[in-house]
Amino acid sequence: MKALVTVTHPRQNSLTHAVMNRFIEGLKQNNHEVDLLDLYHDGFNPVYTAEDEKDWINPDKIYPPEVRKEMDRILAADTLVFVFPLWQYSVPSMLKGYLDKVWNLGLFGKVSNKKVLWICLAGGDQEHMSKYKREEMLTHYLNVAVSGYARMQESRVELLCNTLSESKEHIASLLERAYQLGREYE
């Protein structure tokens, strides 16, 4: 299986990148091929322009080369995995820009056989996320509004909570969870 893994965090020494690296280790142990997209490091431009705008009348619209390149990466992958921090109870703006520009009409009808895994790192603990229905809101947004809009076959959110913990054991458990997710991913 070929996985397009997209990571979104400006610092490569972040826990987000560490989680992504452990997940990829697990994928490779599971003999999966990995195509890595680092939205910050690879210089993706998240600014949505008139050129990027969806054309509801012309589903065969020619998109800018940067967008077409990313659409082709999606089409070449069997599965999509996103690793990102929860910022303001949503995806980071860089990832939102990617979704707006790349997940468009040019992909409709071409990704219904794909699945997506969203690995979200939340600073709050599980109790906080549940009490204020943050997890429910996030999973609905990603599984229904985003993945459903793109007509993905399957979408799942994996929430890694309490990422601001100073406990080395807790952080190690999050990294182990990421590794196991990769090992078990089918």
pLDDT for the residue numbered 21: 98
7-22 mean pLDDT: 98
Which residues does 56 contact at the CB level (< 8 Å), separation at least 6? Answer: 105
Range of the domain at 78: 2-184
Residue pair 138/79 in contact by the 8 Å Cβ criterion: no
pLDDT of residue 59 exceeding 80: no
What pTM value is reported for the model? 0.95
Instruction: Indicate the number of domains in the chain.
Output: 1
Tell me which of 15-19, 57-61, 130-134, 175-179 is least confident. Answer: 57-61
Q: What is the CATH number of the domain that holds 136?
A: 3.40.50.360
* Res 104 pLDDT > 90: no
Instruction: Please tell me whether residue 94 adopts helix, strand or coil conformation.
Output: helix
- Asked whether 147 and 155 are in contact (CB, 8 A), the reply is yes
Sequence-ordered list of residues with C-beta below 8 angstroms from that of 57, at least 6 positions apart, any chain: none
Nearest to 81 by CA among 142, 148, 11, 126: 142
Say how far apart CA 47 and CA 161 lie, in whole Å: 30
